[in-house]
Amino acid sequence: MELMNTVVRRDISGNVVEFLGEGGEAVSVTIAPGYEGKADNELVETAKQMMVQIVAFGRPDVGIPVSRAPSELYTFEYQDKGIVRIMAGISLPNLKAVQDEVNRSAVDLWRDALDRAEAPVGWAVRARDASGEIVAACTYEELQLRDT
């Protein structure tokens, strides 16, 4: 699907981000409650993150063009309020893309914590390669330094 437009709809049932393709294709992502007051661009980024995570569930090849070289599979670990979520099988083309996704995800967690008037510590997001080695990480302390 070649993306032509992105539409954010807000109603009483929640926020919906629609990605519209040139041939009439559409992908809709309904975002769970808790994102009220977020800007459209933040909702679009959240929807993109949700779609990346969906690809991780047993079908890392879904949505990847056949002409692109195979990507490595990584396991992402997200720490929020002492709970660690693990997302395995995330396909990214290189370590820079892994670090970029780790940083972006950490910023999202940090913003959510600030919205709750919390100041978490320790690591926020990290990624492991297929052998289990940590290849990228971002801590809450790093994010605090960036904000100053």
| 78: its two tokens | 């997200």
According to the model, what pLDDT value does residue 54 have?
Answer: 65
Share of the chain above pLDDT 90, in %: 18
pLDDT in tens, 2-47: 878 898 888 766 788 888 888 788 888 888 766 777 888 888 888 8
Cα 35 to Cα 46: distance, rounded to the nearest angstrom:
9
The yes-or-no verdict on residue 85 having pLDDT over 70 is yes
Burial of 94 (0-12, 13-18, 19+ CB in 10 A): exposed
DSSP character at residue 28: E
| 115: its two tokens | 């919205």
Give the gyration radius of the chain's Cα atoms.
16
Tell me the C-alpha to C-alpha distance, in Å, between residue 133 and each of 25, 42, 61, 74: 39, 31, 23, 10
Cα 145 to Cα 148: distance, rounded to the nearest angstrom:
5
Confidence of residue 69 (pLDDT cuts 50, 70, 90): very low
Confidence of residue 135 (pLDDT cuts 50, 70, 90): very high
Domain range list for the chain: 1-55, 66-148
pLDDT in tens, 92-114: 888 999 999 999 999 888 888 88
| 126: its two tokens | 């990290």
Residue 8's nearest CA partner among 45, 61, 59, 58 is: 45
Cα 121 to Cα 145: distance, rounded to the nearest angstrom:
12
For residue 66, how many other CB atoms are within 10 A of its CB? 5
